[in-house]
Amino acid sequence: MSVPKIVVLGAGYGGLMTVKGLQKHLHYNEAEITLVNQNAYHYITTKLHEPAAGTSHHDHARLSIRSVINERKVNFIQDKVTAIKLDEKKVFLENNDPISYDYLVIGLGSSPETFGIKGLMENAFFIRNIDSVRMIREHMEYMFSRYQNEQKDELITIVVGGAGFTGIEYIGELVDRMPELCHEYDIPLEKVRIVNVEAAPTVLPGFDKELVEYAVKYLEGKGVEFITGTPIEECTTDGVVLKGGQEIKAATVVWTGGVRGNKLVEESGLETMRGRVKVDEYLRAPGHENVFVVGDSSLIFNDEGRPYPPTAQMATQQGQVLGKNLVALIRGGEMKPFKYMPKGTVASLGRKEAIGTVGDKKIFGGWAAFVKKMIDLRWLFLLGGVSLVLRKGKL
């Protein structure tokens, strides 16, 4: 007897949550579940700004996939997806044989969106995954270590492109880290420059004005320079050139200005916008009853017809619903439509400060920072229960 084959691509928030649902509800003999992921670990995207700045170790932002799945129910393949062939119902891998599916879940995440800015891909760094943030940290430290040898100010200048969520959270961590970093490399703290450049007229576009002002005031008080309403025109090996011609010499440029879907999804032939698939209410790709898309690979519009930004919160909720829907499908039941329920947003500004909204309440400062930590712990709880929270959680 053959059972349906469910293949989940990507162990991000969406993919992993789907798998958690499947392994919880399905019996051993109801489906063959395969999870494919490039790394042996899941990384906690919402925490990547910390290891990128070096305020926490990258091991705090990842956890072993095998430790949160049930390997008696889920077949985990650590490999890189090279192609998705929808007509053959097959997924091609770098080091393993192609795998067939009856139901496919695509949760392959995103890649940086450079908006065609010249030199950005080649010369900037991206807060993207464990490898990339570890490299940012090491790059910055190497540049700082050169300062006493070469005495060039650009070595200790950091430009952050983009003042969205990731950009601001990363800057908050940088500000926290600087005293220690300067001590380590015998650099006077006041010599360091952290410059945030944003094309939109304000920092944290779309965020509540009062919260934005709080964040800007706090970070400016720590010496951060904000340049808003000014796009980066070019990123060079020496720094950035802004629209209007101003040049900022900086050895470290980190781009946080946006993401687009994984190009494998585009290449699969699915219809995409910036690499993301506009899914239906059951998270299906248009025209493909058996192909589901979650997380940054998916695109969902709100009631005003604007796309929701890709967030961990969105992906987690998608995975929770999709897991149950797949169980229903397999058992001949009814799927439930997905409806995003925004629970609020909190942006950290380093370890002890944050801003955000929970429900319709604005929160600031230490309390917001605490709420942020609770949100992080909740994800660990969803993945691995109390034991994972105790093992990996950190207040």
- Give residues 186-215 in contact with a second copy (rule: CB under 8 A): 186
Nearer to a second copy, 138 or 213 (CB): 138
Which residue of the set 32, 50, 154, 169 is catalytic? 169
Stretch that binds a second copy, among 104-112, 114-122, 126-134, 199-207 (CB under 8 A): 126-134
Q: In what order do the strands lie in the sheet with 125-126?
A: 125-126, 252-255, 157-161, 193-197, 225-227
Nearer to a second copy, 85 or 183 (CB): 183
Contact status: 238 vs a second copy (CB under 8 A): no
Q: Which of 79, 113, 141, 238 binds a second copy (CB under 8 A)?
A: 141
- Give residues 148-167 in contact with a second copy (rule: CB under 8 A): 148-149
Question: HSE of 216 in the Cβ direction (CA atoms, 13 Å)?
Answer: 20
Contact status: 75 vs a second copy (CB under 8 A): no
Q: Which of 13, 43, 76, 144 binds a second copy (CB under 8 A)?
A: 144
The total of other beta-carbon atoms located within 10 Å of residue 71's CB is 11
**Residue 381: both structure tokens together:** 């709880």
Contact 251, 65 (CB under 8 A): no
Contact status: 80 vs a second copy (CB under 8 A): no
One character per residue 250-289, x = contact with a second copy (rule: CB under 8 A): ----------------------------------------
Q: Which of 88, 122, 131, 271 binds a second copy (CB under 8 A)?
A: 131
CB of 130 to a second copy, least distance (A): 8
CB of 141 to a second copy, least distance (A): 5
Contact status: 56 vs a second copy (CB under 8 A): no
Q: Which of 139, 193, 222, 249 binds a second copy (CB under 8 A)?
A: 139
The total of other beta-carbon atoms located within 10 Å of residue 336's CB is 12
State the DSSP string of 159-194.
EEE--SHHHHHHHHHHHHHHHHHHHHTT--GGG-EE
Nearer to a second copy, 101 or 147 (CB): 147
Contact status: 185 vs a second copy (CB under 8 A): yes
Residue 113 among the catalytic residues: no
State the DSSP string of 229-266.
S--EEEE-SSEEEETTS-EEE-SEEEE-S-EEE-HHHH
Where do we find the tokens 């129910």? 73
β-pairing, 74-78 vs 32-37, is: parallel
Contact status: 132 vs a second copy (CB under 8 A): yes
Q: Which of 20, 42, 47, 137 binds a second copy (CB under 8 A)?
A: 137
Where do we find the tokens 């929160």? 363
Helix residue ranges, H only, the chain: 13-25, 49-53, 120-123, 130-150, 165-184, 209-221, 263-267, 312-330, 365-392
Stretch that binds a second copy, among 110-118, 141-149, 312-320, 384-392 (CB under 8 A): 141-149
Q: Which of 3, 77, 86, 135 binds a second copy (CB under 8 A)?
A: 135
Contact 312, 343 (CB under 8 A): no
CB of 277 to a second copy, least distance (A): 27
CA dihedral sign of residues 249, 163, 135, 138:
positive
Contact status: 145 vs a second copy (CB under 8 A): yes
Q: Which of 71, 88, 138, 180 binds a second copy (CB under 8 A)?
A: 138
Backbone angles phi, psi at 7, to 5 degrees: -115, 125
Where do we find the tokens 């929808």? 86
Fill in the DSSP letter of residue 58: G
Contact status: 237 vs a second copy (CB under 8 A): no
Q: Which residues bind a second copy (CB under 8 A)?
A: 130-132, 134-135, 137-139, 141-142, 144-146, 148-149, 185-186
Q: Which residues are catalytic?
A: 169
